[in-house]
Chain A
């Protein structure tokens, strides 16, 4: 046992003072009584006729000395050695991700973890410090190198659950940045182990050891991990994926609603680990569909899902070409494009179109807006040099989002204009001889192809429609994407032309205003449910929707991980000198002191 405030022992001087007061004569008021012999003639503890007298034994004196001694002991803040070994700097990583809302431990995994963190805080010694990091989709430092236990308790209590995943790698990187080299530090991870992929290579080595405190016991959960609305030739249907992630068989019903109206109820029984896909009808006039299961399991976040059923707004696109069936087919794969195809001779203006595509033709004045220019004829402003033969085709940056899923390995191009000297923009696809495709963001998103598609086998490859899709979505992202997003995933919103205000109404009714007139990224998607985007165009309110659903099998399976594979310790990690944690017991001692005072009071009134 140690004392956190040993200086308080000086208060023990009160003990001789109490004894001295017993020596001293007490000044008493005189009371005349008719018959003194009727009053009990007992020798009282404080009876004294001379200023200093021999100390008599007294229960009251004993109790008062005991109470004072216990209070002095409490003031010295004695602490017992606790079981856990604490470093001087404790880094607590508290998982606040969606899976921590599971109620397999009461009241929830997160509350249980917070309780355990509270116990760790209580063990901090006067010299110890703690850093508290909430591990969500974006790690957040809640308390940085704090020694005040009250402040730490408040910080822990203020932490709330999030609906997104846990990015433990980012949290560990953040924690590593907060620990100075050579610090005596140790990290404590309070989590159910359902975290994102952890980079365990040596480049991400940690300067402190990590203790994993597993929270949660069960993985018995039934959830929905996908809901997609598909529009066919005649009708629309929704495809719902449900799965029993636990081991026990479960029976439940699925409530299917369109715009809040109950459309269908399906009874399901799923064995442990079994999944089932449902095809559900979508009314033609429905805007929003939602499904809810009443499985009564330990996790509610995946029991309700929703999807937007209405078709997205279409963009008008102009294709000016002497004839290019490949390009026409690739563009028509995107359902929200309304394509107008004209011959170069018919071209007048691209003003009413959101995007223009010029194939083998360049207008005298290029439109002041997004366009794709393919093989501009010689003499036009953006035309390259003399065509040259092309060898192997490759991507400038294989990780470029515009080339996602675009395989250029078997693509061949006969010849292309020499774009070496072009100032159009950055090269996207290139060859040894010359850049082949250039892109630029300013003043508008625009693309320049240096070769004729007909002189290449690119249109015959699966890469071509994907490339066209990537480029068109980059140039013309949907105003409001109608598909589902994950919690905390940013949503790009492109305001309608002429929109004076853009407001997003969240599922809880709160409103967020975005800057009108420019592409905005909306990041407040922590809540699951339906988000409504309201745009005011020419005085009219135009509404569109997107949804946020958990849709994560990794989270819905819920089973806590027994152990985690964490990055290795770095070679520069300080020798860990874990000392015993301290458990303060002064509140209990103060309680004993209170009890002694009460006994002293009772003893006084009983005439002891």
Chain B
């Protein structure tokens, strides 16, 4: 755990909470307003008494005035279901600092914020296919397990975003954070579309290394794809480098427009940005954390 995130950062993360735009219904009690009615101090509504209702909820003052049994209803406080999908494909095992390592730390930080707020965290990593991170995690005591599980996942293989559609679609409404570089042979758009259909609120975080944002080499080279191993001879010139940068910008733009179309937040992050800044500044500015 210590290797994934520093204790000082964890202490600062405890002051944060995931921020949802609308209330969602959880399975267990928590600290968030839910669409369900339950016991809390926050009044929600009145309704007529039906046999079988808990008569402790009858508003006797209303009965005195209206001569009818009325029940006082309160807002239920439940947990927030958070799903984190982390891309650990071959293209993520690249860059200085390494994108996969940074993705794990970022996922750990977001998960820690959720667990500290008694939210439920479901972890899924993916490359060629989704790999579940085990049963949902809940409570601070699950932090160590989650971090340990995160660090144990191998990195490599091609990315197949189409195979994320099914696990995303079977989720209950809640929050989902998708961390990926958005690169690969297949498009990430089906996965983002699935998030929209599953009424998921959340964010798509594109994580790139500084060396791929601005290539730092020129000249002759044999290029090898990190995921497929396909090779091609190439001569880097200012012109071809500019063409690559433009292609990457187009890919980023496609992902951002796809996310916004589904009501999801989007941020492009660089691995040379400290993890503290990513979480405490970028994600807060994005509205994902508060």
A interface list, Cβ under 8 A from B: 26, 28-42, 44, 46-49, 604-607
Contacts and interface: CB of A to CB of B under 8 A. Distances in A.
B237 A607 contact: yes
20 contacts: A26-B220, A28-B220, A29-B222, A30-B223, A30-B231, A31-B223, A33-B94, A34-B95, A34-B226, A36-B225, A37-B185, A39-B223, A39-B244, A41-B232, A44-B233, A44-B234, A44-B235, A47-B233, A47-B235, A604-B237
A32 B224 contact: yes
Most buried by A among B95, B233, B251: B233
B139 interface: no
Contacts of A31: 217, 221-224
B184 interface: yes
5 tightest A-B CB contacts, nearest first = A607-B239, A36-B225, A34-B91, A35-B183, A40-B243
Nearest to A36: B225
B179 to A, nearest CB: 15
Given A30-B221, A33-B212, A48 B237 contact: no
Nearest to B251: A38
Contacts of B184: 35
Contact of A39 (B92, B95, B226, B240): B240
B4 interface: no
A26 B181 CA distance: 32
A523 to B, nearest CB: 71
Contacts of A49: 233
A34 B221 contact: no
Contacts of B183: 34-35, 38
Nearest to B232: A36
Interface in B251-270: 251
Interface residues of B, number: 36
B239 A28 contact: no
B2 interface: no
Most buried by B among A34, A39, A41: A34
B235 A32 contact: no
B238 interface: yes
B212 A34 contact: yes
Contacts of A48: 233
B228 interface: yes
A49 B185 CA distance: 24
B64 interface: no
Given A33-B212, A37-B225, A38-B244, 20 more contacts: A30-B223, A31-B221, A31-B223, A32-B223, A32-B225, A33-B94, A33-B225, A34-B91, A34-B95, A35-B91, A35-B227, A36-B224, A36-B228, A37-B185, A39-B232, A39-B243, A40-B243, A40-B244, A605-B237, A607-B237
B239 A30 contact: no
A48 B234 CA distance: 10
B198 interface: no
A605 to B, nearest CB: 5
Interface of B: 91-92, 94-95, 99, 181, 183-185, 209, 212, 217, 220-228, 230-235, 237-240, 243-244, 247-248, 251
B224 to A, nearest CB: 5
Contacts of A38: 183, 244, 247-248, 251
Nearest to A31: B221
Contacts of A41: 232
Nearest to B159: A35
Contacts of B217: 31
B239 A605 contact: yes
A37 B248 CA distance: 10
Contacts of B94: 32-34
A223 to B, nearest CB: 69
A46 B231 CA distance: 16
Nearest to B234: A39
A226 to B, nearest CB: 78
A338 to B, nearest CB: 98
Contacts of B248: 38
A34 B248 CA distance: 11
Given A34-B183, A38-B183, A39-B223, A28 B251 contact: no
A19 to B, nearest CB: 19
A37 B95 CA distance: 17
A36 B237 contact: no
Nearest to B243: A40
Nearest to B237: A607
Contacts of B227: 34-35
Most buried by B among A29, A33, A37, A46: A33
A412 B176 CA distance: 148
Given A34-B181, A34-B212, A606 B222 contact: no
A606 B234 contact: no
Nearest to B182: A35
